Structure 1
């Protein structure tokens, strides 16, 4: 296949990492040589390195790639990437990310790359995540919330990608909080129904809320990788690659 996918989100904290990990693990178990990247990550201290998104992705697929290749740009402060880089008097170089990604693509049939925040998040002066996606020339999976408020954020993100002529392989909806009441379940169901009618791309999920995620990341991802939603997602991204 010699291709890949970029996982972006409608916002921060919507579940990009677990979708990235589950998709990569699913592909690996199907016999596909798969690599992972998290090109930029903030809020990473030396003591918390093992709990970083990049380290989790590395561990889930048992990658032998160096963490510096999976994540070329790590910053200590939990800020937007531009602010975190400026605090350390550093710059995020898209050329470096592109070069590392090209090396990864040469090693693997498929590379699953996870973004940071949403598509308009600035990562440098006059550059944002859109520019990163354009440099890597990858189709995109959008991860969004399945609850109230998810419609607007998802439609805005999909439309913004369309305007930049970036292919969207699928929209994955994630339950970021449990729907406990009858009203919350109704809000979620109608969000999913409306997006399936209006998004204009395959809408998958919603993935269930997982309270144990932070403590049992590998176990949770392993279970999710076997789900119908991730199986459908894998088919969607392979269609996008063709």
Structure 2
């Protein structure tokens, strides 16, 4: 039996996808679900994904067998850039068959797979394939990470509209309280507005607070 696979994306680079992914995995594990995280494509690293390291730190677990097998980090590129550019600079194409096979293997071993993307939904994986179109092809429901920082309302609503236009299910909005650029007044209003928008336009979507994590 295959696991439920959720794609973790964000409204922007640096919004806290890695923290959110680790927190969600930790929460599910505490609920006795067998869960693992995976990084779709890691850039700016060599051999090991720093995002996976952060997941395991938050989950308070050692390196897993699947990490050693590189199933959780099937594609790593050295230059810290969008996947399409990082792969070009490294001189090799992204192996999507390898990625999908790794995800399917994880899905056979676990109840839940949390697949963290790179950047936001419109990030190009190749010159012709956007992240959001990859998600659509695979049929993954999305967990969208947002926060109360200035500008996040615009970025969040644009992301929601993009998901709606492609009829991609939004499982949850993860509101990242770790964002230290928050202004208390702006953050409070952002939270209220986004909750109201979800209630009207995405009534089945969960709201998940990602608390400040001390790791």
When the two structures are superposed, what TM-score results if normalisation uses the length of structure 2?
0.86
Q: What does 1:1-242 align with in structure 2 at a 5 Å threshold?
A: 2-45=3-46, 49=48, 52-58=50-56, 60=59, 61-62=61-62, 63-67=64-68, 68-175=70-177, 176-179=179-182, 184-199=183-198, 200-201=201-202, 202=205, 204=207, 207-208=210-211, 219-220=214-215
The verdict on how the C-alpha distance between 1:65 and 1:127 changes in structure 2, with shifts beyond 3 A counting, is same
Provide the aligned length of Structure 1 versus Structure 2.
205
The verdict on how the C-alpha distance between 1:209 and 1:26 changes in structure 2, with shifts beyond 3 A counting, is closer
Q: CA deviation at 1:158?
A: 0.9
User: 2:137, 2:208 → 1: CA distance?
Assistant: 29
User: 2:141, 2:209 → 1: CA distance?
Assistant: 21
Secondary structure, counterpart of 1:79 in structure 2: coil
Q: Is the 8 A contact 2:141 2:171 kept in 1?
A: yes
Q: Is the 8 A contact 2:23 2:210 kept in 1?
A: no
Q: Is the 8 A contact 2:20 2:176 kept in 1?
A: no
Give unpaired runs (5+ residues) of structure 1: 211-218, 221-242
Q: Is the 8 A contact 1:94 1:135 kept in 2?
A: no
Q: Is the 8 A contact 2:7 2:115 kept in 1?
A: yes
User: 2:180, 2:197 → 1: CA distance?
Assistant: 23
User: 1:29, 1:209 → 2: CA distance?
Assistant: 18
Q: CA deviation at 1:93?
A: 2.5
User: 1:163, 1:2 → 2: CA distance?
Assistant: 26
- Between structures 1 and 2, the one with greater helix share: 1
Give unpaired runs (5+ residues) of structure 2: none
